[in-house]
Amino acid sequence: MSLHVPTMAEKMAAGESPEILFWVGCSGSFDDRAKKITKALVKILNECKVDFAVLGTEENCTGDPAKRAGNEFTFQMQAMMNIQVLDGYEVKKIVTGCPHCFNTLKNEYPELGGNYEVIHHTQLIQELINQGKLALKGGGTFKGKKITFHDPCYLGRANDVYDAPRELIEKLDAEMVEMKRCKTKGLCCGAGGAQMFKEAEKGNKEINVERTEDALETNANIIATGCPFCNTMMTDGVKNFNKENEIEVLDVAELIANAADL
Amino acid sequence: MVSIAAFAIISLAGFGFFAWNMLKIRSNILMGRDVDRSDNKSERLKTMLLVAFGQKKMFSRPIPAFLHFAIYAAFIITQIELIEIVVDGLSGEHRIFREALGGFYTFMISFIEILSLLALIATIAFLSRRNLLKIPRFNMKEMKGWPKIDGNMILFMELILVCCIFTMNGADEVAYNRGYMHDGVLHQGSYGFAISSFIGPLLFDGLNDATLHTLERIGWWGHIAMVFAFLNYLPYSKHLHILFAFPNTYYSNLEAKGRLTNMESVTNEVKLMMDPTADPFAVPAEGAAEPQRFGAKDATDLTWKNLLDSYSCTECGRCTSSCPANITGKLLSPRKIMMDTRDRIEEIGNNVRKHGKDHDDGKSLLGDYITEEEIWACTSCNACVQECPVNIDPLSIIVDLRRYLVMEESKVPSELTGMLTNIENNGAPWQFSPTDRLNWKDEA
């Protein structure tokens, strides 16, 4: 199935304005693993005939890692450029594939003049299922499997979104198991605050290894998450324990796309 | 008469010295930068009632929460008895409210006694937890020395206080049974207080009248002396949280935790950069504020709320025990960030009072107290903010210290320099060409 991915520029040229902008994010655009998540989400959007578009080459980093690294100049330069583009296309609603983009667009752009309704992709998928636009066919290949959900900090604690991803997982024909540290007490994967782009400080353990141990304790077959950075960190964590053949790390969008036979 | 005078002098001195110390702390806190938390009063009040008064966040760990609540409830309710003690002390009466309140008085004192007993049990539990059970968060590096003594001191003071209450009520009960003391009329009865009517006779029955009287007075004076000692110990102790929890939760950050503050000074500069008609050589407008330092190097660069946070911290370490960096052995401890901030603003305050406003001791929060290694270990995951039972925000201090390092000193870990350059040049934190951004669409 070929993906239908219109850009805002194409839409504008055709005199249309889509209902929602899909903010792909840098990971979702460039990282090989995260691109699969992006495509899974696009499949869902296509299946549900959501009127969406992407910015394509006009998209730019939101500035999240720069802001968290303490460089407010770089952050605000990025933000102002992005707001000009978004406002130029009269964007009203945005869905993001990454909790970091989600948080920045939602909470940090308004003060710089960028006001949009921003939702995370798990919230959009939940909406589509609730509206009956997306049907899960038999729950995919998850029958009898255990799935645990790793809360991305920027989705959970940062923005209090705990239920949307869990309700989606519960729709699968699988058993949902919680880690001992979950929801408000969820342990970070180690990537936030610009840590993704540097080596960790000296310690006695990597954070993603500590977090992967939580997941291993549940005996889950699948670690689900909703963030491309968490995905990378958890995948590396699973490899650290040589369990990559037994445990998969998947985005909730991928689980749903699979269960909907897309 | 002598005892009334003594009581009045002790009270005046006790309240006076406390007020003087509180004013010092207030002026220290107001050395911080301004931040507007005057909005949304009803939401703020609600937060304060739930988090400080109702101790909502304590209950994420139920056993310590219950023990803590026992001490807290006893503390609050004992204030009623304290009013009577003050009135008795100044008037020379004995249990002045008893006649007027009748049965309610018996109920009230009984209630206080039951809570005091629970508080006693809790205090012993906390003392053993601190000193016998080796709970890691009570034995970390930043807890060595004074913080450890401080934690134990408070518990010992509470222990003495509760013992005084029971000595006072117990001895009084036995004396009252005998009809000794007070109005000289033989009563031959019992006060009927829930606990002292049992333990009084049990402990003090064989003693003579004079000894009973002395014991009752030791309990009474001991009680009030401990109260004043406690009150005046607060400004020097982490225990200040019993008062500051209230304003600190009232002035909580009500925004989403993920939102870092916007730096308006930077916004103005960025707008100038992006405005083609801006005159780069323009003279700043008349009366424009002095440009502030970007971020925070010292405690006075932080906001007054950050400083209020630091004084509200009771060093329980829930933040640190949930910090992913700390759990995995990194230097960062959010609790230490708060303790350092408080110690530094105290030092600055003392310097200012001694040597005048512009005194520079050559030290700063970043460098002399908090190291770069600590602040770069943070993942900004907000676990510390989430965990704090009184809504302290260590993350905003960490971010402000990073801002200073990066924007004023250009000190960035080298890998992050690459990331920042990539964002500026390619619009992504990695070195990919922006023209390739949509390639995923056509890849198999």
**pLDDT digit string, tens, across residues B37-72:** 999 999 999 999 999 999 999 998 899 999 999 999
- The predicted pLDDT at position B187 comes to 61
Under the banding of pLDDT at 50, 70 and 90, the label for residue B427 is very high
Q: Does B259 touch chain A (CB under 8 A)?
A: yes
Mean pLDDT of B125-138: 90
Q: What is the pTM of this model?
A: 0.94
- The predicted pLDDT at position B2 comes to 81
3-state secondary structure of A52: strand
Residue-wise pLDDT tens digits, B79-90: 888 889 888 888
Cα A72 to Cα B405: distance, rounded to the nearest angstrom: 12
E-strand spans in chain A? 20-23, 52-53, 93-96, 117-120, 146-149, 175-177, 222-225, 248-251
Q: Do B379 and A195 touch (CB under 8 A)?
A: yes
Q: How far is CA B369 from CA B32, B332, B336, B394, in A?
A: 17, 12, 9, 15
- The predicted pLDDT at position B67 comes to 94
- The predicted pLDDT at position B86 comes to 86
Mean pLDDT of B254-276: 90
Strands A52-53 and A20-23: parallel
Mean pLDDT of B404-427: 95
Asked whether the predicted pLDDT for residue B104 surpasses 60, the reply is yes
Mean pLDDT of B294-298: 96
Q: Do A154 and B330 touch (CB under 8 A)?
A: no
- The predicted pLDDT at position A1 comes to 64
In chain A, residues 93-152 whose CB comes closer than 8 Å to chain B: 103, 106-108, 111-112
Cα B410 to Cα B414: distance, rounded to the nearest angstrom: 11
Q: Which residues of A touch B322 (CB under 8 A)?
A: 185, 187
Average pLDDT, chain B: 92
Query: Counting beta carbons within 10 angstroms of the beta carbon of residue B289, is it exposed (0 to 12), middle (13 to 18) or buried (19 or more)?
Result: exposed
Q: Does A1 touch chain B (CB under 8 A)?
A: no
- The predicted pLDDT at position A138 comes to 65
Mean pLDDT of B301-307: 98
- Chain B closest-CA separation from residue A114 CA (Å): 13
Asked whether the predicted pLDDT for residue A236 surpasses 90, the reply is yes
What the block records as the tokens of B6 is 């003594």
Q: Does B294 touch chain A (CB under 8 A)?
A: yes
Q: Which of A160, A194, A189 is nearest to A61 (CA)?
A: A194
- The predicted pLDDT at position A144 comes to 85
Asked whether the predicted pLDDT for residue B152 surpasses 70, the reply is yes
What is the edge-to-edge ordering of all strands in the sheet holding A52-53?
Answer: A52-53, A20-23, A93-96, A117-120
Of B328, B432, B437, Cβ closest to residue A56: B437
In chain A, residues 46-85 whose CB comes closer than 8 Å to chain B: 54, 56-57, 59-61, 63, 65-74, 76-78, 80
* DSSP 8-state secondary structure symbol assigned to residue A174: S
What the block records as the tokens of B51 is 């988090």
What the block records as the tokens of B425 is 């040049």
Residue-wise pLDDT tens digits, B9-18: 999 999 999 9
- In our burial notation (b when 16+ CB lie closer than 10 A, e otherwise), range B8-45 reads eeebeebeeebeebeeebeebbebbbeeebeeeeeebe
In chain B, residues 304-343 whose CB comes closer than 8 Å to chain A: 322, 324-325, 327-332
The CATH number of domain B293-410 is 1.10.1060: yes
- In our burial notation (b when 16+ CB lie closer than 10 A, e otherwise), range B166-186 reads bbbbbbbbbbbbeebbeeeee
Cα dihedral sign for A235, A241, A245, A248? negative
Residue-wise pLDDT tens digits, A108-138: 999 999 999 999 999 999 999 999 999 987 6
- Chain B closest-CA separation from residue A74 CA (Å): 7
Residue-wise pLDDT tens digits, B167-213: 999 999 998 888 765 555 556 678 889 899 999 999 998 888 889 98
- The predicted pLDDT at position B89 comes to 87
The CATH number of domain A135-259 is 1.10.287: no
Q: Which CATH class is domain A8-128?
A: alpha beta
Cα B83 to Cα B97: distance, rounded to the nearest angstrom: 10
Q: Do A199 and B436 touch (CB under 8 A)?
A: no
Average pLDDT, chain A: 96
Q: Does A194 touch chain B (CB under 8 A)?
A: yes
Same topology, domains A8-128 and A135-259? Answer is: yes
Asked whether the predicted pLDDT for residue B286 surpasses 80, the reply is no
Mean pLDDT of B381-387: 98
Residue B322 contacts residue B383 (beta carbons within 8 Å)? yes
Q: Which residue of A has its CA nearest to B428?
A: A61
Q: How far is CA B170 from CA B55, B189, B197, B212, in A?
A: 32, 14, 7, 9
- pLDDT over 90, % of chain A: 93
Asked whether the predicted pLDDT for residue B99 surpasses 70, the reply is yes
Q: Which residue of A has its CA nearest to B405?
A: A70
3-state secondary structure of B36: coil
- The predicted pLDDT at position A74 comes to 96
Q: Which of A54, A53, A24, A45 is nearest to A257 (CA)?
A: A45
Q: Do A70 and B263 touch (CB under 8 A)?
A: no
Residue B342's Cβ-side half-sphere holds a number of Cα atoms within 13 Å equal to 24
Of B270, B324, B330, Cβ closest to residue A188: B324
Residue B223 contacts residue B215 (beta carbons within 8 Å)? no
- Chain B closest-CA separation from residue A255 CA (Å): 19
**What are the residue ranges spanned by the domains of chain A?**
8-128, 135-259
Q: Give the length of chain A.
A: 262
How many other C-beta atoms can be found within 10 angstroms of the C-beta atom of residue B268?
12
Asked whether the predicted pLDDT for residue B290 surpasses 90, the reply is no
Q: Do B330 and A80 touch (CB under 8 A)?
A: no
Mean pLDDT of A163-169: 96
How many other C-beta atoms can be found within 10 angstroms of the C-beta atom of residue A33?
14
